[in-house]
């Protein structure tokens, strides 16, 4: 698929080459004395076949020839991760499909059952996580309420101790005897009663009631009842008829401070319990959220979805690799987007500088014969093909004809087919000419016929008296040139006209300018001269 340089005037090369061979042979024979009138022909120096060209407005193009394959602009191999039996194949090779059209169905019954079990397990896990979160939140709310309304057991007991200690301290500090003590006791009882009534009022309905205390033995006559506020104060004061000395003011104050410290410790303990329950509740809610979001890894859902295959694009089914009952191991089918066709080919490294994106392309295909199609270069790879392109066998140095061949650096190019595409086959071979230089309708003369004279470019022509004349004077014409290739060059301006007879080898006749030279070519036809002039005149009109 390597490229080669070519030209639109290639059809004339063989003719010119043949004429050159004939001319060389004729000159060789004349030099050796063969043929009639050899000395006269040499002296006359007439133009032999291949020595002249009739200038015509054929235009000149230079091109790079490449061979490649006709391919769709994109092609997708459809595969499936489902390792199950094919139930239905709805298309065949050659069918045209639309995007999202149904193509193949796989047996997914077992996968669907597995998915159903998985979904039930996930639902149960989500429900359990939700229940645990709600339970943890309820425990946290109950603890917060008991702390706020004073019914927390630890705080409540510590508060009662503070109240008793405060009453005892007040009794000792007052120094007013039983009267002041009774006032302190009354105040303590009032505070304890408020705490008790507040706790009962804020307790949740249905909360378990505390069990009744065990019976207390009847107190001795005249002594305070055990567990009463008076007994507690008496105990703190060291009374009770036991003969122990009454507590001093300092001891009562120390007992009060100790009770207050115990209350703060109880509150801190309750706060710690609250923080622990809060952390547990938050963790439970996070776990519940994760359970709600966790729908498995999606493998089963994906496989069930993959069990029904749809076309990702509109195009042509080029290959169906499975049949009903098969268990596919890879590709199912291939769909090609043939809305645009391209030719993918390789260009030799030496030709890359001569081509560019947007260059016009003409090509033929093996399937359509000589019918010409059009295209344009849309992509030139910035890097060479890693594998290279193998050259034709037998082209190595020395002409040994080895079968291994050699490799040369090539660059991938992409040619978009424009215009008519009728008859082109996907995967078919094509021979394309990338036009790198072009001068349409310009006069076409041999590249060797143009020579430089100072800053000017010139050609030699045979000026005849008429179209039928077979001789004329050698004259010089100044020309302006345009596109060229290895064989021809375009004359875009100057003194040369269509139908002029141009000398192909000016170096041999520059010393004979002004002399009369004849055309010694049996194949010369005046009709070619008239045809060249007439065709140029029609283009000007």
CB 227 within 8 A of CB 164: no
CA 273 to chain centre: 55
Distance CA 2, CA 97 (A): 35
Looking at the whole model, is its pTM more than 0.85? no
Q: How confident is the model at residue 112 (pLDDT cuts 50, 70, 90)?
A: low
Taking the C-alpha atoms of residue 304 and residue 294, their distance in angstroms, rounded to an integer, is 18
Of the candidate ranges 112-116, 218-222, 499-503, the one whose mean pLDDT is the lowest: 218-222
Phi then psi for 56, rounded to 5 degrees? -140, 155
pLDDT (tens digit per residue) in 134-143: 988 998 898 8
Helices marked H in 203-310: 229-237, 249-293, 299-306
**More confident of the two residues 87 and 297:** 87
Residue with tokens 């009463």: 228
Q: State the Cα–Cα distance between residues 33 and 39, nearest whole angstrom.
A: 8
> For the residues 457-480, what does the mean pLDDT come to?
89
Q: Per-residue pLDDT averaged across 89-116, rounded? A: 82
* pLDDT given at position 416: 97
Give the pLDDT of residue 299. 66
**Average pLDDT score over the chain:** 77
Rounded Cα distance, 62 and 487, in Å = 9
What pLDDT is recorded for position 28? 43
| Continuous segment of H or E residues that includes residue 29 | helix 13-31
Q: Judge whether residue 24 has pLDDT over 50.
A: no
pLDDT at residue 13 tops 90 = no
Percent of the chain predicted with pLDDT > 90: 37
User: Would the pLDDT of 29 be above 50?
Assistant: no
Q: How many residues does the chain have?
A: 541
Give the pLDDT score at 221.
45
Residues 381-438: pLDDT tens digits? 999 987 654 443 333 333 344 444 457 899 999 999 998 999 999 999 999 999 998 8
- pLDDT band of residue 128 (cuts 50, 70, 90) is confident
The domain 74-106+299-332 having CATH identifier 3.30.565.10: the answer here is no
More confident residue, 359 or 205: 359
Half-sphere exposure of 469 (CA within 13 A, CB side): 14
Q: Which residue has the higher pLDDT, 196 or 168?
A: 168
How many Cα atoms within 13 Å fall on the side-chain side of residue 309? 26
Average pLDDT over residues 194-214: 42
Task: State mean pLDDT over 33-61.
Answer: 68
Give the residue-averaged pLDDT of 284-293.
82
How is residue 330 written in tokens? 């890879």
Distance of CA 145 to the CA centre of its chain: 59
CATH number of 26-59+440-540: 2.40.420.20
Distance from C-alpha of 419 to C-alpha of 373, rounded to nearest angstrom = 8
Give the per-residue pLDDT at 387: 67
Question: What is the predicted pLDDT for the residue at 345?
Answer: 96
CB 85, CB 106: distance < 8 Å: yes
What CA–CA distance (Å, rounded) separates 49 from 522? 8
Residue 253 pLDDT > 50, yes or no?
Answer: yes
pLDDT category of residue 96 using cuts at 50, 70 and 90: very high
Contact present, 47 and 520 (Cβ < 8 Å): yes
Give percent of the chain above pLDDT 70. 69
SS (H, E, C) 129-193: HHHHHHHHHHHHHHHHHHHHHCCCHHHHHHHHHHHHHHHHHHHHHHCCCHHHHHHHHHHHHHHHH
Residue 330 has φ and ψ, to the nearest 5°, of: -175, -115
Q: How confident is the model at residue 80 (pLDDT cuts 50, 70, 90)?
A: confident
Instruction: Report pLDDT digits (tens) over 475-507.
Output: 999 999 998 888 999 999 999 999 899 999 999
């Amino acid at each position: 698929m390597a490229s080669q340089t070519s030209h639109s005037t290639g059809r004339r090369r063989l003719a010119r080459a043949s004429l050159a061979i004939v001319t060389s042979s004729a000159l060789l024979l004349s030099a050796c004395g063969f043929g009639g009138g050899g000395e006269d022909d040499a002296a006359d120096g007439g133009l032999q076949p291949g020595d002249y060209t009739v200038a015509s407005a054929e235009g000149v193009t230079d091109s790079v020839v490449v061979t490649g394959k006709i391919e769709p602009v994109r092609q997708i191999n459809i595969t499936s991760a489902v390792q199950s039996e094919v139930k239905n194949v709805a298309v065949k090779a050659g069918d045209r499909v639309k995007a999202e059209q149904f193509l193949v169905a796989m047996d997914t019954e077992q996968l669907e059952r597995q998915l159903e079990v998985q979904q039930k397990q996930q639902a149960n896990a989500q429900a359990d996580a939700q229940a645990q979160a709600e339970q943890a939140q309820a425990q946290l709310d109950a603890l917060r309420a008991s702390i706020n309304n004073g019914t927390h057991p630890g705080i409540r007991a510590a508060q009662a101790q503070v109240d008793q200690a405060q009453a005892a301290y007040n009794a000792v500090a007052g120094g007013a005897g039983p009267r002041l003590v009774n006032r302190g006791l009354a105040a303590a009882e009032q505070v304890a009663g408020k705490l008790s009534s507040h706790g009962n009022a804020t307790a949740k309905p249905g909360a378990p009631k505390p069990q009744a205390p065990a019976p207390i033995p009847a107190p001795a006559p005249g002594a305070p009842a055990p567990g009463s506020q008076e007994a507690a104060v008496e105990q703190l004061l060291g009374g009770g008829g036991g003969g122990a000395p009454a507590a001093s003011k300092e001891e009562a104050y120390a007992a009060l401070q100790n009770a207050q410290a115990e209350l703060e410790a109880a509150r801190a303990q309750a706060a710690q319990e609250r923080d622990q329950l809060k952390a547990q509740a938050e963790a439970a809610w996070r776990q519940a959220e994760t359970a709600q979001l966790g729908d498995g890894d999606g493998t089963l859902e994906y496989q069930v979805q993959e069990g029904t295959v749809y076309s990702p694009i509109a195009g042509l089914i080029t290959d169906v690799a499975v049949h009903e009952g098969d268990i596919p191991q890879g590709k199912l089918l291939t769909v090609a987007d043939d809305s645009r066709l391209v030719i993918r080919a390789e260009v030799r490294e030496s030709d890359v500088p001569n081509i560019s994106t947007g260059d016009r392309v003409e090509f033929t295909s093996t399937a359509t014969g000589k019918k010409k199609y059009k295209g344009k270069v849309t992509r030139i790879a910035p890097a060479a093909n890693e594998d290279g392109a193998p050259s034709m066998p037998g082209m190595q140095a020395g002409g040994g004809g080895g079968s291994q061949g050699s490799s040369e650096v090539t660059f991938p190019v992409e040619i978009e087919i424009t215009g008519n595409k009728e008859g082109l086959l996907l995967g078919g071979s094509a021979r394309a000419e990338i036009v790198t230089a072009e001068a349409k309708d310009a006069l076409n003369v041999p590249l060797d016929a143009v020579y430089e004279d100072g800053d000017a470019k010139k050609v030699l022509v045979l000026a005849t008296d008429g179209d039928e004349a077979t001789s004329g004077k050698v004259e010089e014409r100044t020309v302006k040139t345009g596109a060229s290739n290895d064989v021809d060059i375009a004359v875009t301006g100057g003194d040369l006209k269509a139908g002029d007879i141009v000398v192909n080898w000016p170096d041999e006749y520059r010393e004979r300018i002004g002399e009369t030279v004849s055309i010694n070519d049996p194949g010369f036809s005046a009709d070619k001269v008239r045809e060249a002039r007439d065709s140029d005149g029609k283009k000007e009109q």
